[in-house]
Structure 1
Amino acid sequence: MVRRDENTAVPRWNHNIHYHRVVLDAVPPSARTALDVGTGDGLLAADLRSRVPSVTGIDTDADVLRRASAEVADVEWVHGDVLTHPFAPASFDVVASVATVHHLPDLRETFRRFAELAAPSGVVVVVGLARSAGVADAMYEVAGVVQHRYHSRRRHLWEHTAPTVWPPPHTYAEVKRAAADVLPGMRWRRLAMWRYAVEWTKDPSA
């Protein structure tokens, strides 16, 4: 689903929107429910709604939720903390998050909560930000700068209204270790433009 800037009618683009496809590609064909954690302006929730019949977006910022709900009506918008909110039902076929994990207080607690909220055979897919540390990360930094310049020239760079945290509190290596500890068998990808992806499928017998 293409969301356009309300002032220019040009399709919105930024680093987070660019990687919505990572989340959408991970959605199982049978998925009926999805949770967008840290939904912010609601663009990922709207994209998920094009694939999944029932989508919930949760965020702690009431102002951005109001703006999101004004754009997209057929999503359940929840003002709350994903770590403590009593969801009913308490499981989802897709638990997704873009640029949110670094806002939450503890990596392992966050990944554990995402796993808890996933239904049996459900997927957890996270696109997040982290800090670079080392030569390998530096190579992705260079690639990120090149891609950012390329896409920014070709597309309309749209600035979201949700709060930001920079620099992220954890390194890529720390995030990878935490995810591997809590989500056994998870798939890790380092992405350009200062992002990583974690994908995990919950055991159907869990």
Structure 2
Amino acid sequence: MTSLGARLIAAMNRFNAARPWDHNAHYHRLILRQLPEKPRSALDIGCGTGEFARKLAATGARVDGIDTDPAAIAEAARTGGGVRYLTADVRTARLDRYAAVVSIATVHHLPLTEALPLLRGLLEPGGTLVVLGLYREHTITDRLLGLTAVAANLLVAALRGRNTPRTPPMCTGPAREALARIRSAAATQLPGARIRRRLFWRYILVYEHP
């Protein structure tokens, strides 16, 4: 990397650090639009400090939020919002079935072939699953969109300004699966699921349980 390139990256990192914002929270309204208007019950997997779980509860749903991070759950419980918070691993927790299940930036922490049937099993008949997930850049299209996302990230950060309040972000590791692999697994495990690529290295998956 040239010294000029290194300086540009360092300058961009300083700019982002001064104007942080949450890529996942950016899609909260979009996720809500994919769900039934007034679900009876809902589960937020990897709920973190509970920002989205509280938005779900505001629809009138009975909401459970689950996360493995005790500190995040403690912070969520202090805020309240009519949500039942659980410190547990979704793979081993004893949970109900729900009219709506949401997973935000969590699926990529699990093997894909394990995660998708697990999420399907948490739905009651007629229930809706929405996944906001991360994918690994693999194709030229992925990389071009990644460059677009970098530019869009700078623009959004500039518009939000330095002093915009920000909810602490959820811990998000790197994505392991390319989008083509995610589509293939969903076609097998969640027949009829709709997957759309979004900016900021994310996709949204919507599945309606028969």
For residue 164 of structure 1, give the secondary structure of its aligned residue in structure 2. Answer: coil
Letter in 2 for 1:123: T
The aligned counterpart of 1:146 is: 151
Shift of 1:160: 2.4
Letter in 2 for 1:86: R
The aligned counterpart of 2:71 is: 63
Q: Is the 8 A contact 2:38 2:59 kept in 1?
A: no
Q: Is the 8 A contact 2:38 2:61 kept in 1?
A: no
Alignment deviations for residues 108-134 of structure 1 (CA, whole Å, 9 cap, x no partner): 211101111111111000001121001
Aligned equivalents of 2:61, 2:194: Cα separation in 1: 26
Aligned equivalents of 1:164, 1:27: Cα separation in 2: 24
Alignment deviations for residues 39-77 of structure 1 (CA, whole Å, 9 cap, x no partner): 012111011111142110001111110011111241000
List alignment gaps of at least 5 residues for structure 2.
1-19
Q: Is the 8 A contact 1:45 1:75 kept in 2?
A: yes
TM-score (norm 2): 0.84
The aligned counterpart of 1:171 is: 178
Identity of aligned residues (%): 35
The aligned counterpart of 1:101 is: 107
Number of aligned residues: 188
Aligned equivalents of 1:135, 1:159: Cα separation in 2: 33
Shift of 1:138: 1.5
Q: Which has the higher helix share?
A: 2
Instruction: Find 2:121's aligned residue among 116, 127, 136.
Output: 116
Q: Rg: which structure is higher?
A: 2
Could you say if the C-alpha distance between residues 121 and 62 of structure 1 is closer, same or farther in structure 2, counting changes exceeding 3 Å? Answer: same
TM-score (norm 1): 0.86
Question: Are residues 1:23 and 2:6 paired?
Answer: no
For residue 19 of structure 1, give the secondary structure of its aligned residue in structure 2. Answer: helix
With 190-199 and 139-148 compared, the bigger mean Cα shift is at 139-148
